[in-house]
Structure 1
Amino acid sequence: MGVLRNMAEVQARRRQERGRARIDQILAAAATSFDELGYEGTTTNAIAARAGMSPGSLYQFFANKDDIARAMAERYADELAHLDSVAVVPEGEDLGAAVRAALEPIVAFNLQHPGFKALFARTDMPAAMRDAVAPVHQRMEARVAALVSALIPGLDGAGVSTTTTVVLHMVRGLMPAITAAASDGSRATLARELERSLTAYLQAVAAEVPAR
């Protein structure tokens, strides 16, 4: 009985590993498809074909495209949680340097995850898609809010919320151009322009906070 139980456990683990590998295949294929075709232009059939499986096999793991997007967003949110974030900014820290330190890993993350901008860097998101990608948006919002609070400690809750919204839209607006840049030099130039814009905006906000 013990041998049979051990064999059953080994087989179950192997099935789980195969299932995880198939899910990884599907999510990688979806990321590429979303990047190349856009969210609306991507179909589950296209994702299945790119993943090297039949649509029926894909449906064993995901019910539809929104379900795939939700799984991608949850994975992105988990990975974003491991990025270094600015929780406390030492007194006298240069704001521009702090913005650069926070922005660089976000640019790198977008470059490493081609499907990310299809789920994050757009302002005309359909309602169904907003629900699917809520985890990654919540993670990004929390990350930026923490940065704003650290850089402008006198800013009240409403101010943090407004400033966070503006910063997120600025990043969303330019990030697609940064990731699509034809050369490393062009990408670096655009990243510096985003950094400069964010720094100038945050400095203007900080200047309006009443001194304590």
Structure 2
Amino acid sequence: MSEEPKPRRRQARGERRIAQLLQAAANVFCANGYTATSTNAIAREASVSPGTLYQYFPNKEAIAVELGDRLLAQMREYHGQAFTPANLALPLPPLLDAVLDPLIDFNCQNPVFLALMHGSEIPGRIAEEHDALHASLLARVGDLIGHYLPGSDAAQQSRIADMVFAIVKAGLALILAAPEGAERDAVVAETKTVLLRYLDPIIGEALTTIPSP
């Protein structure tokens, strides 16, 4: 009889244990921040011994890097859903919905993302990959501005993109701090209103006159 199912079962158990440890780490990072978190705290949150944790991760940094890699991969997928040619052909209000809703949904499902990516003393690899993703998204927003404002220069496009990101970052912090339900929905709506009122005088009219990408 084949012995192959046993390794597969062991692998599945290992994957479940890793997922358990990463979720525990996410909870503790959210509560305490990266710097103040210890491997012992993560083990307690996961209801395992420190020795069990060390079977899978040698230290806190390795846990953070694995968690960060998974979060960044998911974030790239969410942004792939947002910046599509079909979405960029929409009028400004539904365009904001199409671009922001996946981003807001991701952050609400993964509050550790902001806590980890914007915390102090996070591992360099996470910071580098996050900075690269941030720069890529800024460039995409800048390109979008340039599409609707073909006469604008790169400096103007960059300023507008920076302002959009500042508004979104501030809005996300308020959204995550709001209780789930009606209050959070209201903060989401307010964030979109701020962006609409900022962007509409800049590109609102252009959205109705320039062909989609």
Q: Distance in 1 between matches of 2:165 and 2:57?
A: 30
Aligned equivalent of 1:186, options 174, 183, 186: 183
Shift of 1:181: 0.9
- For residues 12-56 of structure 1, the C-alpha deviation after alignment (integer angstroms, 9 at most, x for no partner) is 322222221111011111111122222233211111111121112
In 2, the alpha carbon distance for the partners of 1:46 and 1:152 equals 48
- Partner amino acid, structure 2, of 1:149: D
Alpha-carbon distance in 2 for matches of 1:34, 1:13: 31
Q: Percent identity between the aligned chains?
A: 31
Whether 1:87 and 2:84 are equivalent positions in the alignment is yes
Would you say 1:67 and 2:62 are equivalent positions? Answer: yes
Is 2:82–2:99's contact at 8 Å kept on the other side of the alignment? Answer: yes
Counterpart-to-counterpart distance in 1, 2:115 and 2:15:
23
Q: Which residues of 2 match residues 54-203 of structure 1 at below 5 A? A: 54-83=49-78, 84-88=81-85, 89-90=88-89, 93-120=90-117, 122=118, 125-143=119-137, 145-153=139-147, 154=150, 159-203=156-200
Distance in 2 (alpha carbons) for counterparts of 1:54 and 1:205? 56
Alignment match, 1:13: 8
Alignment CA distance shift 1:166-1:119 (3 Å): farther
Q: TM-score, normalised by structure 2?
A: 0.77
Residues of 2 paired with 1:70 and 1:13: CA distance?
Answer: 25
After superposition, the CA RMSD in angstroms is 2.9
Structure 1 residues 164-183: Cα deviation after superposition (integer angstroms, max 9, x where no partner): 44333332223122122125
Q: Deviations 1:1-22 (Å, cap 9, x if unpaired)? A: xx5xx41x33332222222111
Which residue identity is paired with 1:189? A
| CA displacement at 1:67 relative to structure 2 | 1.8
Give the length in aligned residue pairs.
Answer: 199
| Unmatched runs of 5 consecutive residues or more in structure 2 | none
Q: Which residue identity does 1:101 align to in structure 2?
A: A
In structure 2, relative to structure 1, the CA distance for the partners of 1:133 and 1:59 (3 Å cut) is: farther
Give the Å deviation of 1:118.
0.8
Q: State the one-letter code of the partner of 1:33.
A: V
28-37 vs 195-204, which moves further: 195-204
- Secondary structure at the aligned position of 1:182 is classed as coil
Deviates more, 1:152-161 or 1:180-189: 152-161
User: By how many angstroms is 1:108 displaced?
Assistant: 1.4
Contact 2:61 2:123 in 1 (8 A): yes
- The Cα offsets for residues 171-204 of structure 1, whole Å up to 9 and x where unpaired, read as 2223122122125222122112221222334446
| Residues 29 and 50, structure 1, Cα contact 8 Å, conserved in 2 | yes
Between 128-137 and 101-110, report the one with greater CA deviation. 128-137
